[in-house]
Amino acid sequence: MTHPVSAAIDSALDLSVVGGYTRLGLAARRRLPGWPPDSPSGALVGTHVVVTGASSGLGEACVQMLHDLGAHVHLVVRDEAKGEDVARGVDAGLARLTTWRCDLSDLDDVRDLAGRLFEAGVAVRGLVHNAGALPPERTESEQGHEQTMALHVLGPVLLTELLLPALTDDARVVLVTSGGMYTQDLPVDDPEYLQGEYAGATAYARSKRTQVEILGALQERWGAHGVAVYATHPGWASTPGITASLPRFERVTRPVLRSAQEGADTSVWLVATRPRRVGGGLWHDRRPRPTAYLGRHATTPADRARMWDWVAGAAGLAQ
């Protein structure tokens, strides 16, 4: 969005938060000069796209939208029956839809999923890491890591790393993050949330901050394989997860919440758009965004490097 007036309005919407994150902000941006065009019909014909957390909310919307663009969509879910229900809702004949069971917070399960995808010979054009949770109490993954960090960071990083040989030379990897990450510092001194009183919303935002701050390291590592990696935040979207985890917030903001499809728009657009956008950045409403505003919660290169070292070690990546 290079038009100066459009850019100024867009930035003002972002700084207002309510104006930028709700469906009102998306509707306004769509009318501004320079709004990127939608991907053409059939843009993903002949491609395979993997979507995690595909049994509801943003993940379910991604599945429908990617399928509509012609992709063969692979639904990665913890509950296989729910995933198959979503797939049948998209196409009763299950054409170009495959369901895979995996708990993304369990690194052994992630390794097993990667092996099964390899055995199936899937050439992956897009990988949308949408699986998410906001636990009310501190819980740990099978490997003993704090649950939100395992699910939102370690699992996605490991799965992508293991699938690198199966990714096409035009592959795009999308980490679905949250605007809530703007409220938290990078937890470089306490990634497992062992200090202080645990709060689920804080843990969620800390893990999402981590996703964004390791983008540079991920792009440097995976870019050599032809991969472009992005983080996207959907704004405030109406999903079952929001209703269950933040019921008061959902009740107050319900009139202006985005639909799941509106929340998933930029993730799908980044997977489908041509030419491919430069990787390594945070996106919202089809535009790169800063990772901090007014210097609040800004992160140093040294802290980003320390955080990446922890992620790589915890995920078992070769350095």
* CA 46 to chain CA mean position, Å: 23
Within the chain, all domains assigned CATH 3.40.50.720 are found at: 40-315
Give the architecture (CATH level 2) of 40-315: 3-Layer(aba) Sandwich (3.40)
Q: Residues 6 or more apart from 27 whose CB is under 8 A from it?
A: none
Q: In what order do the strands lie in the sheet with 167-176?
A: 97-101, 72-77, 48-52, 124-129, 167-176, 228-232, 282-284, 287-289
Tokens 């879910």 belong to which residue? 77
Nearest-angstrom CA–CA distance, 208 and 184? 9
Low pLDDT (below 50) residues in the chain: none
| pLDDT value of position 247 | 81
Question: What pLDDT is recorded for position 2?
Answer: 61
Tokens of 152: 């939102």
Residues 130 and 144: their CA atoms lie apart, in Å, by 22
